[in-house]
């Protein structure tokens, strides 16, 4: 029996990008080796998301499905897509990417050839012409602005030295969700954190699933220079800090603490404050300072919130 691939796209107020994403996904080369469906899960959008999906109906036909998920949060939307999907292979991507025409074909071939459970595909950034050189030259350090997963064009087993796979290009056998559960709804956009995809990566690794990187399955992710605004840097790295602290707490990691906050974080953020005036004269140096400072601040706030919550429950 041939494979059925379910592509799940969670979206929230990105109608301006969504049309291009759907056009690229619906034009996939299958070579009649598999079929696919595309599920767009609208997570409370107030823009023209539904109209954009309907405008692609002629190209998508019955394989294009529109779902509405009223519970706010990307994980709720992804889990709704998993629940409604019919495929034996489930693929997640973002609502602003452009997929290579052979994207799904490469993923299916990797599953078949390597008998893997989970695949992380290649994610390459597309930079606007006006992108500063220091952003182009430091894509890994620009997390939160640049979305990137690139270990070349090859296919290889996942190694601990690799970054965890990301939601922009993430594929699974359906059985993975049956044995590992679905995405945690207290994590991810809409819940004050990021990292729903990272946490799921940790989970499938702990379950000894067979993970592969597939460099032939490519999507291009646009770089939004608006994310260089200080407000966006603050919000993203604080959300990442909250995610890191939440994971540490759940893993039971113990640190010397004051009022629930690890002392190493207090020392670290104090040192960052002292360095502030040294780092404001270079945009690149200031960005590195800001991401470290606000990530620590996010962790401190999460540890403190957990401390208060735990004391109130006693």
How do residues 48-104 score in pLDDT, each as one tens digit?
999 999 999 888 889 999 999 999 999 999 999 999 999 999 999 999 999 999 999
* The domain boundary residue, chosen from 190, 225, 260: 225
pLDDT at position 227 is 87
Q: What is the pLDDT of residue 142?
A: 87
- Domain C-terminal end among 209, 225, 241: 225
Q: What is the pLDDT of residue 9?
A: 98
Q: Do 219 and 272 fall within a single domain?
A: no
Instruction: Give the pLDDT of residue 275.
Output: 84
Question: What per-residue confidence (pLDDT) applies to 20?
Answer: 96
CA distances from 299 to 195, 202, 214, 239, 254 (A): 14, 19, 33, 9, 14
Same domain assignment for residues 24 and 76: yes
Radius of gyration of the chain (CA): 20
The reported pLDDT for the residue numbered 143 is 84
109-140 pLDDT tens trace: 999 999 999 999 999 999 999 999 989 998 98
Do both 205 and 272 map to the same domain? no
| Res. 288 pLDDT band, cuts 50 70 90 | confident
Q: In this structure, are 267 and 121 located in the same domain?
A: no
Pair (159, 292) in one structural domain: no
Of 158, 313, 130, 289, which is closest to residue 223 (Cα–Cα)? 130
**pLDDT band at residue 308 using 50, 70 and 90 as cut-offs:** very high
**91 and 109 part of one domain:** yes
Do 41 and 127 belong together in one domain? Answer: yes
7/148 same-domain check: yes
Q: Which residues contact 56 (CB under 8 A, 6 or more apart)?
A: 19, 22, 23, 26, 64
User: Whole-prediction pTM value?
Assistant: 0.92
Q: How many residues does the chain have?
A: 314
Does 247 share its domain with 175?
Answer: no
29-35 average pLDDT score: 94
Q: Which pLDDT does position 198 carry in this prediction? A: 94
Tokens of 15: 């109608």
Over residues 146-160, the mean pLDDT reads 96
Q: How far apart are CA 261 and CA 307, in angstroms?
A: 8
pLDDT band at 144 (very low <50, low <70, confident <90, very high): confident
Between CA 31 and CA 106 the distance in angstroms is 11
Examine the domain organization and report whether 192 and 207 are in the same domain.
Answer: yes
pLDDT band at 46 (very low <50, low <70, confident <90, very high): very high
Contact at 8 Å (CB) between 94 and 11? no
Domain that holds residue 252: 229-313
Last residue of a domain, one of 207, 225, 243: 225
Task: Give the total number of structural domains in the chain.
Answer: 2
The predicted structure's pLDDT at residue 1: 47
- We report the CATH number of the domain holding residue 53 as 3.90.550.10
Asked whether residue 74 falls in the same domain as residue 158, the answer is yes
Torsion of CA 64, 68, 69, 75, to 10 degrees: 30
Name residue, tokens 């071939």.
Answer: 109
Q: Do 202 and 279 fall into the same domain?
A: no
Q: What is the pLDDT of residue 40?
A: 98
* pLDDT at residue number 228: 85
Let me know the angle formed at the C-alpha of 69 by 64 and 73, rounded to the nearest 5 degrees: 120
Distance of CA 251 to the CA centre of its chain: 21
90 within 8 A of 82, measured Cβ to Cβ? yes
What proportion of the chain, given as a percentage, has pLDDT over 90? 82
Distance spanning both ends of the chain, measured CA to CA: 56
Question: What percent of the chain shows pLDDT beyond 70?
Answer: 99
> What are 222-260's pLDDT values in tens digits?
999 998 888 998 999 999 999 999 999 999 999 999 999
Task: Please give the residue that has the higher pLDDT: either 283 or 57.
Answer: 57
Query: Which of 65-74, 179-188, 269-278 bottoms out in mean pLDDT, i.e. has the lowest?
Result: 269-278
What average pLDDT does range 162-189 have in this prediction?
96
């Amino acid at each position: 029996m041939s494979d059925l691939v379910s592509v799940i796209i969670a979206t929230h107020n990105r109608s301006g990008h969504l049309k291009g994403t759907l056009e690229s996904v619906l034009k996939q080369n299958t070579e009649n080796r598999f079929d696919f469906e595309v599920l767009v899960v609208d997570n409370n959008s107030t823009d023209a998301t539904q109209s954009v999906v309907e405008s692609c109906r002629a190209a998508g036909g019955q394989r294009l499905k529109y779902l509405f998920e009223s519970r706010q949060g990307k994980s709720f939307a992804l889990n709704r897509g998993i629940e409604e999907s019919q495929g034996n292979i489930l693929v997640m991507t973002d609502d602003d990417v452009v997929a290579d025409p052979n994207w799904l074909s490469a993923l299916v071939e990797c599953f078949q050839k390597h008998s893997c459970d989970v695949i992380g595909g290649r994610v390459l950034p597309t930079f606007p012409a006006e992108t500063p050189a220091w952003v182009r030259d430091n894509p890994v350090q620009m997390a939160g602005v640049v979305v990137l997963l690139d270990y070349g064009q090859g296919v290889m087993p996942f190694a601990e030295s690799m970054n965890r796979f990301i939601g922009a290009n993430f594929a699974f056998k359906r059985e993975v969700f049956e044995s590992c559960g679905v995405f945690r709804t207290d994590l991810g956009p809409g819940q004050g954190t990021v990292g729903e995809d990272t946490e799921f990566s940790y989970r499938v690794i702990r379950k000894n699933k067979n993970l592969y990187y597939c460099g032939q399955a490519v999507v291009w992710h646009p770089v939004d220079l608006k994310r260089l605004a200080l407000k966006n840097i603050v919000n993203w790295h604080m959300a990442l800090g909250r995610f890191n602290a939440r994971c540490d707490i759940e893993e039971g990691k113990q640190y010397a603490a004051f009022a629930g906050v690890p002392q190493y974080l207090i020392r670290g953020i104090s040192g960052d404050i002292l360095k502030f005036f040294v780092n404001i004269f270079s945009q690149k140096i200031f960005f590195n300072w800001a991401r470290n400072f606000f990530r620590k601040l996010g962790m401190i706030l999460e540890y403190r919130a957990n401390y208060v919550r735990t004391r109130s429950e006693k």
